[in-house]
Structure 1
């Protein structure tokens, strides 16, 4: 295109037959070359962006599945320790209702860890949706919510359990008002256990298609520290 322009401006006096047609062809050829160059550069740039988005989407999904595996392990632990935790709560409530006390070691709180699911930015959400579909984005959103709900339930269980400190021997027994407080704490604990189980059921339904197994290493690490009831080993 630049050569055609030079031909036009610097050889205006050239009266060679066919000159204008030659310049027009040259201009058209050079114009096509420039346009093709721009389009090629744009396509290459888009290809690089698309490749990066695919890589980011795969990495985000792989991380989510890994975190889901750990969350599933925590869910299993929660189910395994819940019956014993409930029994201990009812036993402590019975002691409270009879006016008894217990040694401090019987009041230690259970070990209730939490698992955080890494949230996705808007850019990652778009990349995952483009590469794996909207259902994957939806599963991840529910996964984040499941993890938060389990954490909230465990926090509520810990708070309810803390009320049993009133039964420590150093306090010499509980009053009738404190007995009612402990009765309500036991009720709150049972409700939190039920709420957590509902969340665990939702978690399993949500990631069923991901073919994720519970992280065995996480389970092993937990039971290295805790007994079958979820309390720290001696």
Structure 2
């Protein structure tokens, strides 16, 4: 798990990035402007920063320059913008930003950029603060939630559906007395809980398994009342 600071003046983008990164196991701190970002940085260096360029009080490039000037640019910074020019991106990279993501940000590009930034930080920085923070290696993260444990948890719902597990093949018993909509929702809930359990709560892998876009998957889970974070913690217990 890594500590990631997200700085963006748009609430929707902050919430979406927080949800995505949180589902990947990271601790996320949010800042809606440069002043909040300064406060968060003063409290301790994050493992990585996602920094928007255009903000109302102080723009991201100016904040980046401040951190470089004051010796606070000790963590990887990934710039984000939907309106930045090539010159702005080049300037940010020259100052010390390691990457630039154009909005709207494709989720796969986001996760790859974050992973690259965290990998670079682990290789280049061995300061005591980072050494004292437990960091889960990537291979362990991929397998830290045992699939056998995840699929062996019997789950029942009050909607008339029960699941019995036989090896890797869950057997569903669905009451045909349910109204069609409730029966469909009950099946979809069990379907997504099954895949979330097998994939250790990783929304990226569940999206790939189910063939859904991540944003569609998030909306669907909220509609069904499925909470990936709670399910992941339950599977770890």
- Structure with greater strand share of residues: 2
- Structure with greater helix share of residues: 1
> For this structure pair, what is the TM-score category when the shorter chain's length is used for normalisation?
under 0.3
Higher relative contact order (CA 8 A, sep 6+): 1
TM-score for the superposition, normalised by structure 1: 0.28
Please say which structure displays the higher CA radius of gyration. 1
TM-score for the superposition, normalised by structure 2: 0.27
